[in-house]
Each structure stands twice: as C-alpha cells, then as structure tokens.
Amino acid sequence: MSSEIVAICETCPHHCRLSEGQFGICRARRAEGGRVSCANYGRITSLALDPIEKKPLAFFRSGSPILSVGSYGCNLRCPFCQNDSISQCGEGEVPYQTATPGELADLALRFKKERGNIGLAYTYNEPLVGWEFVRDCATEIRARGMANVIVSNGVFEPSVIDTLAPLLDAANIDLKGPSQAFYDWVGGDLHAVQRTIATLYENGCHVEVTTLIVPGHNDTEEAIDTIATFLASVSPDIPLHVTRFFPRHRMSDTNPTPVATVRHLADVARRRLSHVLIGNC
C-alpha cells in the first residue's frame, strides 16, 4: 500500500515517518527503497563569494571572502523566515544546478588562488537537511587545506552533529528563542539546538550564535537573559549576534524591531557574555 510507512528519518527531532516516495517536513529528504535519502544532494540554488562577516562570523578569519553555497529545504517553519524563497521550497519549486563535492571544492580552490577565498560555507537554506552533501564537500575542502563553515538552525540529532563536527572550522547557529514554547511556534526543538552549540564548541569548532529579535515573541529582557545564560554556561566567550527583525514571509505586516530595543537587549546580554554584536541596525 502506498500509505505504508517504510522508513523513519533520523536526521532531526521530527523523525518523519515516510511512505515510499514521500518527502519529510524539510522537503529535501525522501523515502526511497525503504530508506531515507538526501533528495537535494548536489542541487545548488545559490552560490556566491561572500565576506565572512555576512555569515555572520565576526571573529573567524575576519576580512576574508568565503564561497557560499545553498540548496533548498528547511526542517523549521519560522513565520519570520528571512530566506523563504529557497528554504521553504521543495523539489520543482525553485531553479537549481547540480555540482559534485569535488567540483565545488575545485571551484573553492580556484577562488582561493584568484580572490583569497578561505573555503566553503554551507548556508542560505538549512544546509543540514542535506548533511550528507555537507559531509562529502567538507571532506573534499579539508583535503585541499581550506575551511568549512556552516550556518544552521542547529535542530538536528547528535549522530548528524557528531559526524560533521570534526570537519567543521566555524559555525553560526541560530538560537531563535529562550524556551520550548518559542520553538513549538517555529516547529523545532530547543534542547537539540543547545546540544548542537555545546557539541560543536567542545569539538574545537569556532562557534558564534545569532538571535533574531522578533517583536512580541522574544524581545524581552527575560528572553535575552535566558539565551545569554545558556551560552555563558558553555562559554562566556561565545559571540552572540543580536539582530533586528524586518517584515518577511508570514510576518510581512509586522513592524521592524525598534533599534532601541535591539541595543538595549544587547546590553542585557553583555551582562553575561564577552562579545555581543548588533545586526541589521
């Protein structure tokens, strides 16, 4: 029967139960032949040479460019998504080109020679819904003596993070809110994000964290202090980017976060953290 469950995805806490040919909530993983495969493997929707500060990473190879690559799909459903044109799309809904890990690594190396590129950043959509492609690219990048960077929501199982951690040089992880109630709103798991941040940091990966301040949802002193308290428990030296919200996606009718609010909440976070930066102001 077509509705029979043939596979359970173990990539993230959703643990999607899939029938043959069915996609998971991320729209990038599919049940095929009784197992879950990475359906967006090698499918590139975005490719650009960006400043490392755009990831954002403020304390990793500052002033350097990095080749940045994205596909489609995401395992969260944030109403305020800042990149919904690819992250909230699935197969057939966005144009893409294909590339092998070796081809991307060769391109990264060419840009290193021509423009000072330091490596490859996996970003734009949620890269870890296609973690196998990240793993394979990261292996090729390491073989060429270059750096691997991820920009991720962090809502993934330990097996995925443990596999990737030894290959990663830097990461910016979104810590979107202070509570599981907030993560219920966006369709995620707070504990998984916290575990990802701690695991990467403990494995020697340079970690920075971003919190988008969404009016009416995580814009209180209590919320930002809770986030800062957790980060300080891992290390008070983890940089936190406190970022201003602008209307997007399903919150296009919400006003931008007042600049004064962002600056005040950054000051609150500085009570516990050594490095707090302000974004989008």
Q: Is 254 inside any structural domain? A: yes
Q: Is 225 inside any structural domain? A: yes
> In 3-state terms, what secondary structure has residue 83?
coil
Burial 184-222 (b: 16+ CB within 10 A, else e): ebbebbbebbbbbbbbbbeeebbbbbbbbbbbebbbeee
Q: Is 131 inside any structural domain? A: yes
The pTM for the full model equals 0.96
Q: Compute the half-sphere exposure of residue 185: CA atoms within 13 Å on the CB side of its CA.
A: 16
Confidence of residue 1 (pLDDT cuts 50, 70, 90): very low
Amino acid letter, 169: D
Amino acid letter, 31: A
Whether the pLDDT of residue 2 is over 70: the answer is no
Cβ–Cβ contacts within 10 Å for residue 48, how many? 14
Whether the pLDDT of residue 195 is over 60: the answer is yes
Which residues, 6 or more positions from 114, have their beta carbon under 8 angstroms from its beta carbon? none
Cβ–Cβ contacts within 10 Å for residue 157, how many? 21
Pair of tokens at residue 51: 């400043």
Q: Is 2 inside any structural domain? A: no
pLDDT single digits (tens) 243-277 = 999 988 888 888 999 999 999 999 999 999 999 99
Amino acid letter, 115: R
Q: Is 211 inside any structural domain? A: yes
Pair of tokens at residue 13: 């806490």
How far, in Å, CA of 9 to CA of 13, rounded? 9
pLDDT single digits (tens) 173-189 = 999 999 999 999 999 99
The phi and psi torsions of 103 (rounded to 5 degrees) equal -65, -40
Burial (CB count within 10 angstroms: exposed 0-12, middle 13-18, buried 19+), residue 47: middle
Q: What share of the chain is helix, strand, coil (3-state, %, to 5)?
A: 35, 25, 45
Which residues, 6 or more positions from 65, have their beta carbon under 8 angstroms from its beta carbon? 49, 50, 51, 52, 111, 115, 116, 117, 118
Residue 191 is predicted with a pLDDT of 98
Q: Is 166 inside any structural domain? A: yes
Domain residue limits at 103: 40-279
Identify whether 56 is preceded by a cis peptide bond (ω within 30 of 0): yes
* Helix (H) or strand (E) run with residue 77 in it: none
Q: Is 265 inside any structural domain? A: yes
Confidence of residue 5 (pLDDT cuts 50, 70, 90): confident
Q: Is 50 inside any structural domain? A: yes
- Name the domain count of the chain: 1
Residue 117 is predicted with a pLDDT of 98
Question: What's 193's domain CATH number?
Answer: 3.20.20.70
Instruction: Single out the residue of 192, 119, 185 nearest to residue 152, CA to CA.
Output: 192
